Structure 1
């Protein structure tokens, strides 16, 4: 299927009714629009859907290429057609990888070997058996990466804070802003610091420059090449480049070309997570993701959580012309999830041509944004409730807290559920007026203030309940959003696994960097020339 029936979708969307009235008319609505898997529950009843249009969306999924493309992906076909690569990140979280082969290579053995090496290194560091070049145990690890090599481990470790127990401290160096590395190294001792460079190509500018700066820090402390080799590890597919940098081959964990950066948490990119929460808990992260994989692969579309979320996204983006999606985790530990899903969704599906290079006629990925509740309620929720913009929202709540302040958690849940109710039902002019009068205002005062208190309602939302925020359920949650993005990419007929748009800015930064170092600027546009001149003048 190369083109979705956009006019029919828009026609269906134009027939929307009142959510408040829909709930009043149908006491069973919440039960009918609910799906469950692995103890997780998705309530999608507060969406602008009814039996007829939801059936139409379900038929759209059934008639689409989701199943065939999924089967091709699982078979190892090169569905990343612009780079001629397979897409096999799901294999990285399989418990049983024996016999996995791709293009004649024993992938199962390679995955097992990588897992064993990660586990061994974690054990060495935890037991203070890994010694630095002065014979002192390693106390700190600097993880150097950017994009998927950074966002995944950062988000996962933030989410799993209650599971932290490592005696080794971890420091993330991502942005090329020199303040990042400078602030990290001034607190550390090279003799007790291990450095992990995470870059598939070992050529990503930000990662390479940060690694070079840290290597120079070692040299400035008196470390020679042998000492640097002892303190530097990498995960990369470019062994030659890593070796040229000074990293010995036995300290290089593999990355495969069939793993995209934003899907790489399950690989050696997850090493920081294993280091801080332990290898057993990291295995539980993989187990949760694999369980969601099985739900996605085996469950009929009518009860398939990733498919349901994908269809709702299509419904709002292409039927209702919504351009944004709010991701609102009611969990302090999940506060980095919106940033993670930003890359997952927007880098995957922010495209303007289909798999064959032909121009798409409709919008694709939404702008993803959000923050942890209840912080957002005192900020941008104002826009969600009273703006004319329609922003569908995902609310996520772990049912069991990771702390003993149970009343806090009960209040947090109350706010989460109240926000979805308020978005759905709103507040009418009559209700606002009655509220003002009940507060003791005169009729004239109530008439003046009431319009400002009106909320239109009919704002859609999903509520996802997790039993708890454990490694297992975090793995399931991440995999759920991966599969949602995959389904939408198939429905839009685009390649979700390349990111050529990222390359242009990188290419253009080279000549500009040379110009900032004194090269001629006459080939650049006048605005860029002006900005360079201002930078040089200040310098």
Structure 2
């Protein structure tokens, strides 16, 4: 296939019609029945991908469901499009770009080398990675110092979207691995509260700032960078330090950008700018120079282990047989849940406090990628696309929104993620707290799958109207993902798993999962509204009555 081929309308395929009929057949069954009929169902519907065990058995499927979904993937040419992506074809059709985040993770010396659009991709990636490694080592060793000669103690990463969510999530997940005496902080929101609270207790003499913006024009990022530059220079002066602004900025600011002229204009030495490429989308970019903050604070070795985990899942997705291919199967299951079972949301529930930002990371990955209503050739989609991803770490969620998942009226597929070995093996007397934690993990998917019948409730002595309130329908679909421990490699595998799940869904639906035009309109209008917000009455009067009224309220009540 070529990247610009007309997408196959999935609703016209034989597989789609078969899945429609199959869904009606399955409606008469239940997970209780299916597990009773096949005592080995848990093993039959489990798969291994790198270090991840993925149990699909508590989804509302039979083995034949997977066969039909794989037929749908074949008829919509999903694997051909996968191969086109790995080969560097321009599958990002609206921007006419290759999609090569997987190239960021290829080990040095991979064969054959990857040549795309006349560019030696492997050589370029390794060159930047080596520069990042050298820079990180200089900071960690104390060779790189601030303007007054003090070691760096805090790295502040300024970015937004893909330049923020990935680094934040990974830093929080792997925080126990950070170097002693070195921490990371993150600023993304243009709300000045974010910049103020992040820097309020920092020492400007020991703070290094990474400004992450490919074009160095992102409104939120550059505004925050200017705020932090002012904070730093004012802070140095308040300590009696004689400040040469450009020298101070050059010692305390580095950039992740390809716009070297704008970097230099800001005051950052272009030699301290780390670039990446237009074939790396923001939400797929954490394995690029966007991860510089991670290499500094967690260490280059940790960063490379993270990349190795990404690559392990990339290779699984690229080479595993379809019926064993976990990203392929999970992506197709999401299509099944959305288009045949009517699911509108998808919960991701990590049983690890260190993954508390993982659902937020997936929100951008999945919803910015597949929140589309046109296909890659510009024609309207023929199905529902995308779903709302959300979640919180367990067991917090159990005491908040699990009620809706267990007994609500909506189908909410959920992915449960857990690790066999805890990061902190604590005990409460004789009780292994991690085992208590995992007992909750196992219990939730069991309860969601099998529920509790009215007869079981009555057998416990409950009578009357309370019986219905204490009955659980079961048949709430879940996927369980387990790994030995939350290591950098395992985290890389998890991230890449969801990247490829997202790809599979988009390929079935025929959409371009790698652009984000929906983000642009609001940004453009915000710039156009700036004069009105600043008080230009003529500009205010030109707005619709709602917008004008809201701006006038702001003008009248601004203290």
Fold conserved between structures, TM > 0.5: yes
Partner of 1:74: 86
The question of whether the paired residues in 1 share the 8 Å contact of 2:210 and 2:293 is answered with no
In the aligned structure 1, how far is the partner of 2:153 from the partner of 2:42? 52
Q: CA deviation at 1:8?
A: 4.4
Partner SS, residue 482 of structure 2: strand
In the aligned structure 2, how far is the partner of 1:193 from the partner of 1:536? 36
Tell me which moved more, 271-280 or 289-298: 271-280
Pick the aligned partner of 2:404 from 383, 390, 405: 383
Partner of 2:62: 50
In the aligned structure 1, how far is the partner of 2:118 from the partner of 2:181? 41
Partner of 2:4: none
In the aligned structure 2, how far is the partner of 1:100 from the partner of 1:12? 42
* Structure 1 residues 69-125: Cα deviation after superposition (integer angstroms, max 9, x where no partner): 122112211111111111111111111256433222233222222111111111111
Q: CA deviation at 1:186?
A: 2.4
The question of whether the paired residues in 2 share the 8 Å contact of 1:12 and 1:319 is answered with no
Pick the aligned partner of 1:89 from 101, 110, 113: 101
Query: Are 2:30 and 1:9 aligned?
Result: no
Query: Are 2:227 and 1:213 aligned?
Result: yes
The question of whether the paired residues in 1 share the 8 Å contact of 2:108 and 2:126 is answered with no
Partner of 1:225: 246
Partner SS, residue 351 of structure 1: coil
In the aligned structure 2, how far is the partner of 1:379 from the partner of 1:494? 35
Partner of 1:334: 355
Pick the aligned partner of 1:365 from 383, 386, 389: 386
Q: Go from structure 1 to structure 2 and tell me whether the alpha carbon gap of 1:166 and 1:353 turns closer, same or farther (over 3 Å shift).
A: farther
Query: Are 2:298 and 1:277 aligned?
Result: yes
* Structure 1 residues 390-432: Cα deviation after superposition (integer angstroms, max 9, x where no partner): 1001001111111122611111111111111111111111111
Q: CA deviation at 1:24?
A: 1.1
The question of whether the paired residues in 1 share the 8 Å contact of 2:9 and 2:76 is answered with no
Pick the aligned partner of 1:463 from 469, 472, 480: 480
Provide the TM-score with structure 2 as the length reference. Answer: 0.92
The question of whether the paired residues in 1 share the 8 Å contact of 2:540 and 2:548 is answered with yes
Tell me which moved more, 527-536 or 400-409: 400-409
In the aligned structure 2, how far is the partner of 1:351 from the partner of 1:336? 24
Partner SS, residue 186 of structure 2: strand
Pick the aligned partner of 1:245 from 262, 266, 278: 266
Query: Are 2:337 and 1:321 aligned?
Result: no
The question of whether the paired residues in 2 share the 8 Å contact of 1:9 and 1:318 is answered with no
Partner of 2:454: 429
Pick the aligned partner of 2:438 from 403, 409, 413: 413
Tell me which moved more, 330-339 or 164-173: 164-173
The question of whether the paired residues in 2 share the 8 Å contact of 1:132 and 1:193 is answered with yes
The question of whether the paired residues in 2 share the 8 Å contact of 1:126 and 1:166 is answered with no
Is there any run of 5+ residues in structure 2 with no aligned partner, and where? 1-6, 238-242
Pick the aligned partner of 1:104 from 107, 112, 118: 118
Partner SS, residue 185 of structure 2: strand
Tell me which moved more, 222-231 or 74-83: 222-231
Partner SS, residue 480 of structure 2: strand
Q: CA deviation at 1:230?
A: 2.3
Query: Are 2:330 and 1:309 aligned?
Result: yes
Partner SS, residue 95 of structure 2: coil
The question of whether the paired residues in 1 share the 8 Å contact of 2:158 and 2:210 is answered with yes
Q: Go from structure 1 to structure 2 and tell me whether the alpha carbon gap of 1:495 and 1:97 turns closer, same or farther (over 3 Å shift).
A: farther
The question of whether the paired residues in 1 share the 8 Å contact of 2:257 and 2:273 is answered with yes
Q: Go from structure 1 to structure 2 and tell me whether the alpha carbon gap of 1:62 and 1:361 turns closer, same or farther (over 3 Å shift).
A: closer
The question of whether the paired residues in 2 share the 8 Å contact of 1:350 and 1:365 is answered with yes
Tell me which moved more, 350-359 or 15-24: 15-24
Partner of 1:479: 496
Pick the aligned partner of 1:504 from 488, 506, 521: 521
In the aligned structure 1, how far is the partner of 2:299 from the partner of 2:320? 32
Tell me which moved more, 343-352 or 191-200: 191-200
Partner of 1:165: 179
In the aligned structure 2, how far is the partner of 1:523 from the partner of 1:357? 33
Q: CA deviation at 1:280?
A: 0.8
Q: CA deviation at 1:330?
A: 0.8
Q: Go from structure 1 to structure 2 and tell me whether the alpha carbon gap of 1:516 and 1:97 turns closer, same or farther (over 3 Å shift).
A: farther
* Structure 1 residues 41-89: Cα deviation after superposition (integer angstroms, max 9, x where no partner): 1110111111333221121123332221122112211111111111111
Q: CA deviation at 1:511?
A: 2.3
Provide the TM-score with structure 1 as the length reference. Answer: 0.96
| Matched length | 531
